[in-house]
Amino acid sequence: MKDKEYTENLIVRYLNGNCTPEEQKELKAWIEESADKRNEFLSIKDIWDSLNTPKDNTTEQLAIFYKNQYTKIKRSRIVWIHSFSVIAAILIVGLIFSVLVPTNSTKRSGSVQIFSVPLGSRSKVILADGTEVSLNSGSELKYSSGFSSTNREVSLTGEGFFNVKSDPKHPFTVKTSDFDIKVTGTKFNVCSYLDNKFSTTTLAEGKIGLQMSGSSEILNVAPGEKFQIDRETKKFSFSDADVESEIAWKDGEFIFRKIPFPDLVQRLERCYDVKLICSGSELQNYAFTGRFKNQETIWQVLDALKLTSPIDYQKTTFREFKIIYKPLKNK
């Protein structure tokens, strides 16, 4: 019994950090006598180790982590800049050659420039004629390498906002899977995702003409008007557009007014590159209105929806959430 208490004191001294080297050896010898003794020592030590003060420096440590990562990225960026200058030098040499050696073919058709924007991000392109195109998440803009200020034709899948440089002599054409848009100098939004039921275009200012695929008829759209076509039945309609909320995405805002729940889900999925899985049909009949500046994370958006509408959410796995119908409690 005396012996047992002696070892217990020894263990406490070891945990408390004032064991002499001799005592440490003694303790080690005791532990090595049997597996039971070893387990007793380890389980008592484990209790001691897991007791913890409320003092927490996680936030500080996270800041240190990001600082380290940042300096690393900066270092690798220098390497990038270096390789960029090499590429630039090669391009300049190539340019000089192409100027000095005149080519016979004035139109280099065949090769196509593709500009695609991954889900979860947005981008902006300035074309050779000075036209600016903002592209939304998951969109793709194609134009042939023959594109110039006299040959203005691009094709688009996804969503883009065009600010077309005015030139009445050379119309600018945007081709989509459902219709072509011919303009001279205007600002308009086109939304033509292949997985959407409808394709739309909204005119902010100027004038545009629409030509349906497989038809020669040209429809005119007036400023502030929205053209919508059912991609399957090809039925179309015109309506007054809420231009501000239609094109807010290009400035990083996310505005929606009375849009059905499935549309909201689809827009969030694209905008944040996440998957939202919805169970139950109760939510399908809800319309949503809201405004996010897009600086919000998907968590913040879902939290806001959770507070204001009968939903709850759960993270299932990486970039995937489950949305559940949950009636709001009456206060």
Partner 1 sequence: MTEFDYLFGKYHRRLLLYTLKFVESESDALDIVQNVFIAIWENEKYKQKEDLVQAYLFNSIRNGCLNYLKHQRIVQKFENRTSIQLSEMEALHYQSGEKSLIERENLKQINDAIDSLPVMYKEIIVLSRFEGLKNSEIANQLNLPIRTVETRVFRALSALKEKISRKSFFTLLFFRGLR
Question: Are 312 and 326 in contact, with CB atoms under 8 Å apart?
Answer: yes
Q: Cβ of residue 48: shortest distance to partner 1, in angstroms?
A: 6
Rounded to whole angstroms, the Cα distance separating 111 from 97 reads: 20
- Angle, helices 21-31 vs 2-16, to 10°: value is 120
Whichever of 48 and 80 has its CB closer to partner 1, that residue is 48
CB nearer to partner 1: pick between 235 and 315: 315
Tokens 């275009």 correspond to what residue?
201
Nearer to partner 1, 13 or 182 (CB): 13
Which residue, 3 or 240, is less far from partner 1 as judged by CB? Answer: 3
The Cα 100–Cα 98 span in angstroms is 6
Least gap, CB of 1 to partner 1 (angstroms)? 12
* Distance between CA atoms of residues 238 and 210, nearest Å: 12
| CB contact at 8 A, 281 and 309 | no
Measured from the CB atom, the residue of 135 and 276 that comes closer to partner 1 is: 276
Task: Determine the residue type at 135.
Answer: L
Name the nearest CA neighbour of 117 among 95, 138, 89, 90: 138
Please say whether the dihedral angle defined by the alpha carbons of residues 235, 250, 120 and 292, taken in this order, is positive or negative.
negative
In three-state secondary structure terms, 59 is helix
Q: How far is the CB of 279 from partner 1 (least distance, A)?
A: 20
The residue among 60 and 232 lying less far from partner 1, judged by its C-beta, is 60
Residue 265's SS3 state is helix
Cβ–Cβ under 8 Å, residues 200 and 228: yes
Q: Read off the amino acid at residue 110.
A: G
Q: Residue 276 is which amino acid? A: L
Q: Is-contact 1 11, C-beta < 8 A?
A: no
Query: Which is nearer to partner 1, 145 or 316 (by Cβ)?
Result: 316
Contacts of 196 (CB under 8 A, 6+ apart): 231, 266
Cβ distance to partner 1 smaller for residue 61 or 111:
61
CB atoms within 10 A of CB 253: 15
CB of 161 to partner 1, least distance (A): 28
Q: How far is the CB of 204 from partner 1 (least distance, A)?
A: 35
CB of 176 to partner 1, least distance (A): 34
| Residue 141 C-beta: closest distance to partner 1, Å | 29
CA atoms within 13 A on the CB side of 160: 28
Question: Least distance in Å: CB of 85 to partner 1?
Answer: 27
Give min distance, CB of 198 to partner 1, in A: 33
Applying CB under 8 A, which residues contact partner 1? Answer: 5, 8-9, 11-13, 15-19, 21, 24-25, 27-28, 31, 38, 42-54, 56, 58, 61-62, 64-65, 68-69, 297, 299, 317-319
Q: Which is nearer to partner 1, 52 or 285 (CB)?
A: 52
